[in-house]
Chain A
Amino acid sequence: MPMQTVKMVITGPFSAGKTEFIRSISEIDVVTTDENISPDSAEFSTKEQTTVAMDFGRITVDDDLVLYLFGTPGQRRFDFMWEILAEGMLGFVVMVDSAKPETFREAKSILETFRAYAPTPYVVAANKQDDPEAWTPEDLRIALRIEDNVKLLPCVATDKESVKNVLLELLYSILEEMDT
């Protein structure tokens, strides 16, 4: 029997925690296409590397089924990759850095863009909830204008249990969609 592969996309603004999210749960070392950010560049104060094309993680289910996790590049100049990554996805996670309101507008824009690519189920992960300056998921729902029927989940991308919860909730949403 041929190996079946399915994929989920992890998207969100620059520095939202997409790479960490995949790293926390992938059974392989995450294949990142990060490049070093030059000290003169805009992003250097926030992180020293940025994802250029995509992050790639894997979870083997059994001999004939594998789940791939693809993380999108956060910077707009690489957004040509988004649609390519969205092709055929099972669902997607929108990561938001809950402690950085300066990224909320972009998070909303990315969410709308991915919704337009494919009407697949999605969840929003309110990342960095362990940061004392994080906005609560309830406040984020209003700030990002997320409808009540969309799951907005508290998340800490470095915590495996938290990441598992987000992926499970996305899978439950996919099951619910099948039932309707």
Chain B
Amino acid sequence: MALKGNLADFSTTQILNLINLAKKTGTLRLYEPVVTKETITDGTGKKRPKIIPGAERASIAFREGRLIWATMGDQDGHLASVLHKAGKLNAEQTRVIRERGAKYSDKALALMLINANYVTKADIVRSIRQYTLDIVYDVMSWKEEPFVFEEGVVPPPERITVPIDLKNVIIEGTRRIRELQPLEEELPNLDMALKFPDTPGDKFRGIHLSVDEWRVVSFINPKNSIRQIAKACNMTDTEIRRVVYGLLQAGLVELTKPPTMQQAAKAQTRAQKLRRQPVERSLVERLIARIKEV
């Protein structure tokens, strides 16, 4: 089963969150959106044009939930080009290396460049990391590209891959979101509270949060609504939504009902139970026995 869809329905941030939480290995491919005359209906029954995949625009590879490599459709991702983009090689050096080193794999070429004192190992790792991140942040702004995630497909071994924690990528990508709609859809109710996951483990290790994000984290408590946290941090609704959305997508916090809402829910539960028919255990057991027979 392949994960297929369209970014209009399931955003890049959500895909990265899924890959991170499910610790997936594989390659995400994104395609040029080609609008057809056919229509599809969404879950509410509304019609919209069917979009099918055109030429490949980008591919992003992951291993066990970590970002390892990315390339744009119109680029070959050759090591010399990556180093040129990072300013480690000039245009002439890049041309010569590409001509003479065409038969070498990225790994072999990297060794030759290091031995020839053109670059250091750290230069190569840093350049590939930045190249990969630039592509992913670009992709995070796309809105209607068809995508498919190919499970188990990873770059060939001769490619140099650099593992990058997705949580930081998600948070940084969220900081760059300009549109408010996805934030409001994902986080419609600011009266909800936040809590840390039951098994936080080492989720916060290596996370790079801004001062504002750390301030929000310092107020996380099931007793504090998001609205109260925003007030304490002197943030607008949009600002708090952006921070909380990033923390949620990175799996660092979870939504929960604050005590005031829980009390209201309990009162509602009591009212609802009054309206519900009294149900005995034996009745449910009779239903189970009957359905087993059907």
Which A residues fall within an 8 A CB radius of B?
4, 6, 13-16, 25, 27, 41-43, 45-46, 50, 59-62, 65, 67, 74-77, 87-90, 100-107, 110, 118-120, 132-136, 138-139, 142-143, 160, 164, 167-168, 171-172, 174-175, 178
Say how far B154's CB is from chain A's closest CB, in angstroms.
19
Q: How far, in Å, is A87 (CB) from chain B's closest CB? A: 7
Which of B1, B275, B277 contacts A6, CB < 8 Å?
Answer: B277
Contact of A101 among B10, B45, B47 (CB under 8 A): B10
- A67 with B287, Cβ < 8 A, contacts A25-B294, A134-B1 known: yes
Chain B residues whose CB sits within 8 angstroms of the CB of A75 once the complex forms: 44-45
Q: Are B45 and A42 in contact (CB under 8 A)?
A: yes
Q: A42-B39, A104-B43 are in contact. Are A138 and B291 (CB under 8 A)?
A: no
Chain B residues in 8 Å Cβ range of A45: 38-41, 47
Which residues on the B side are within 8 Å of A160 (C-beta)? 294
A90 and B292 in contact, given A102-B43, A105-B43, A133-B2 (Cβ under 8 angstroms): no
User: Which chain B positions have C-beta within 8 A of A89?
Assistant: 276
Residues of B within 8 A of A (CB): 1-6, 8-10, 14, 17-18, 21-22, 38-47, 185, 265, 268-269, 272, 275-277, 279, 281, 283-288, 290-292, 294
Please tell me if the beta carbons of B3 and A135 are within 8 angstroms of each other in the complex: yes
Residue among B2, B44, B265, B281 facing the most chain A CB atoms (10 A cut-off)? B44
Q: Among B18, B47, B294, find the residue whose CB has the most chain A CB atoms closer than 10 A.
A: B294
> Could you say which residues of chain B place their CB within 8 Å of the CB of A171?
284, 287-288, 291
Interface CB pairs A-B, < 8 A, 21? A14-B42, A14-B45, A42-B45, A43-B45, A45-B38, A45-B39, A45-B40, A65-B283, A67-B290, A75-B45, A90-B276, A102-B40, A102-B41, A120-B272, A132-B1, A133-B1, A135-B1, A135-B3, A139-B22, A164-B294, A178-B284
Residues of A within 8 A of B290 (CB): 59-62, 67
B192 to chain A, nearest CB (A): 11
A13 to B40, CA, bound (A): 14
Of the candidates A41, A77, A174, the one whose C-beta lies within 8 Å of that of B284 is: A174
Q: Beyond A60-B290, A90-B276, A139-B18, list 18 extra A-B contacts (CB 8 Å).
A: A6-B283, A16-B43, A25-B291, A43-B41, A45-B40, A101-B5, A102-B41, A104-B43, A105-B43, A105-B185, A106-B44, A133-B4, A142-B18, A143-B18, A171-B291, A175-B281, A175-B284, A175-B285
A135 contacts across to B, CB distance below 8 A: 1, 3
- B285: chain A residues at CB < 8 Å are 175
CB distance from B261 to the nearest CB of A (A): 11
Among candidates A16, A42, A119, A172, residue contacting B288 with C-beta atoms closer than 8 Å: A172
A168 touches B269 (CB 8 A): no
CB pair A88–B277 under 8 Å, yes or no, is yes
Verify A62–B286 contact, CB threshold 8 A: yes
Q: How far is the CB of A167 from chain B (nearest CB, A)?
A: 5
Q: Is the CB of A76 within 8 A of B45?
A: yes
Expressed in whole angstroms, the Cα–Cα distance for A27 and B41 within the complex equals 31
- What chain B residues lie within 8 Å of A60 (beta carbons)? 290
Q: How far is the CB of A10 from chain B (nearest CB, A)?
A: 14
Flag if A4 contacts B38 (CB, 8 Å): no
- Nearest 4 pairs between A and B by C-beta? A106-B43, A42-B47, A13-B43, A103-B43
Q: Knowing A59-B290, A167-B291 touch, does A90 contact B272 (C-beta < 8 A)?
A: no
CB distance from A3 to the nearest CB of B (A): 13
Contact (A101, B291) CB under 8 Å given A119-B269, A132-B1, A133-B1: no
Q: Which of A62, A87, A119, A164 contacts B291 (CB 8 A)?
A: A164
Complex contacts, A25 vs chain B, CB 8 Å? 291, 294
Complex interface: chain B residues within 8 A of A168 (CB): 288, 291-292
A59 and B294: CB pair below 8 A? Answer: yes
Docked-complex contact B292 and A164, CB < 8 angstroms: yes
CA distance in complex: A116, B74 (Å): 49
- Interchain CA distance A137-B22 in the complex, whole Å: 12
Q: Report the bound CA distance from A103 to B10 in whole Å.
A: 10
